[in-house]
Structure 1
Amino acid sequence: MKKYIIVPSFLVLFLMTSIPSHAEPNYYQPAEESKEELMMDLFLSLLLPDIQKAVSNYYSDFLTESPMVYPYQINILKMERTNGYRGFMFLVTLEVTPVVGPHNPVGKDQLTFSITPGRVTLKNFKHIETYELPPNWQDIKKKK
């Protein structure tokens, strides 16, 4: 009789525990508090005004309030030098999640910037996904 209780108990316990995943995210994350993380944060902080401008421009057709993009909601998908080793022309592709109010996500977007000394140019803006706003934020949607 005891084994009818013990075996299912072990099965439930085994199935309820989380199994760690070692899957890689599809974007690179440097080690915490490393110089590389510091440089990445600095880079995103400098790029943030251009990201914000592109996002505000896109969502102005759909929302009365401009969504915000926070640095921790930006993922670098791809970075490359476009003119060879130690060249200072770059192409950077980012994925951002803009939010309104208390961090209500409005969508997911992919932005590609061309970066040269003294100039940042938006090359491509691709809206990937639209998220539904909570009921108390429906009033910021523009009527069609």
Structure 2
Amino acid sequence: MLKRMLITVSMLSLLFSHAVYAGSVHTPPDKPEQDSKELMYQDMLMLFLLPHMQQKIDEIYAPLLKSSPEIYPYFVDVQDVQRVNGFRGFHFLITLNVVPTVGPHIAVGEDRLTFDISPVNPHNVKLISWKHLKDPKKSDFPPNYQDLLKR
């Protein structure tokens, strides 16, 4: 009887502790639940830009975290796209909001990156501006992930 009660208390404690930290796990922003051509093109673009985003995110978070955060394409929101040289021109500016994560999708901040995509750029992509919008907060990390923070 005592053993069963201890197991029940342990399970309730585990469930309660999970509920306390469940709010710190980042969930993807509202996304369409049906596929479309537009969504497929956006997902392909994110895959194309992912290495360029990751390079800058690694640099931004190096002083803040002991390991590099991950970027998942579904945690990247397109803020703005401009066709620089008019109809059917192949020079674009794209601004993205990026939410990098660690572990089980724990958000570690937010950043805004603007890329110039053009046939005249080497490899067609150039980061032209970035803004770090939000630092990681210790309170957003479960205890077993707080050792990832440098401060």
Q: Which runs of 5+ in 2 are unaligned?
A: 1-30
Q: What CA RMSD, in Å, does the superposition of the two structures yield over aligned residues?
A: 1.9
TM-score, normalised with respect to structure 2: 0.70
Aligned length: 116
Distance 1:31 1:73 in 2: 15
TM-score, normalised with respect to structure 1: 0.74
The answer to whether residue 38 in structure 2 is matched with residue 33 in structure 1 is no
Stretch moving more, 130-139 or 45-54? 130-139
Q: Which runs of 5+ in 1 are unaligned?
A: 1-28
Check the 8 A contact 1:30/1:36 in 2, yes or no.
no
Q: Aligned residue for 1:136?
A: 144
4+ long deviations beyond 6 Å:
none
Deviation string, structure 1 residues 4-35 (Cα, Å, up to 9, x no partner): xxxxxxxxxxxxxxxxxxxxxxxxx6782111
Q: Give percent identity, aligned residues only.
A: 43
Tell me which protein shows more helix as a share of its residues.
2
- Matches of residues 1-144 of structure 1 in structure 2 within 5 Å? 32-117=34-119, 118-132=123-137, 133-143=141-151
- The Cα shift of 1:134 comes to 2.6
Structure showing greater Rg: 1
Deviation string, structure 1 residues 24-73 (Cα, Å, up to 9, x no partner): xxxxx678211111111111111111111111111012111000000000
